Amino acid sequence: MKENQMLNLVVKAIDDKRAENIIGLNMQGISAIADYFIICHGNSEKQVQAIAHEVKKTAQEHHYDVKRLEGFDDARWVLIDLDDIVVHVFHKDERPYYNLEKLWGDAPAIELEGEYS
């Protein structure tokens, strides 16, 4: 599956669970961790878990390997490693503290398909 297709599937899964402020960053040439970061947040621990679960389920349904899923039980910052794509799902109270958008400010934003906010 092409990266753009997987990015769109991941973003749709995140949006289906009503995640807020969905941001995509192109990490190619900036980080050896992944080619893309997707960052979003949920308003409660249950919503954060629902978002993470939906991303994992969608990836597995499309035969995309989920390398790691960390932080699910606490649901304050869930990291989903899909190899070339890393999804960061924050609780709304944690996102400003870690501020990954600023930390990786030199990474160009990627245009995400559809209206995600």
Residue 113: per-residue pLDDT:
65
For 7, residues 6+ apart whose C-beta sits below 8 A from its C-beta are: 24, 36, 38, 85, 110, 112
Q: Does 116 have pLDDT greater than 70?
A: no
- Which domain CATH number covers 68? 3.30.460.10
1-38 pLDDT, tens digit per residue, is 466 888 999 999 999 999 999 999 999 989 888 999 99
Establish if 23 belongs to a structural domain.
Answer: yes
47-77 pLDDT, tens digit per residue, is 999 999 999 999 999 998 899 999 999 999 9
The residue behind tokens 């973003």 is 11
Q: Does 117 have pLDDT greater than 50?
A: no
Residue range(s) defining the domain that contains residue 78:
3-103
Establish if 92 belongs to a structural domain.
Answer: yes
Establish if 27 belongs to a structural domain.
Answer: yes
Which residue type does 35 have?
D
How far apart (Å, rounded) are the C-alpha atoms in residues 42 and 78? 11
Q: CA dist 110 to 49, 60, 74, Å?
A: 25, 24, 29
Check if the beta carbon of residue 8 is closer than 8 Å to that of residue 22: no
Establish if 112 belongs to a structural domain.
Answer: no
Residue 73: per-residue pLDDT:
96
Residue 115: per-residue pLDDT:
46
Q: Count of domains in the chain?
A: 1
Q: CA dist 89 to 64, 71, 92, Å?
A: 18, 9, 9
Establish if 114 belongs to a structural domain.
Answer: no
More confident residue, 106 or 20: 20
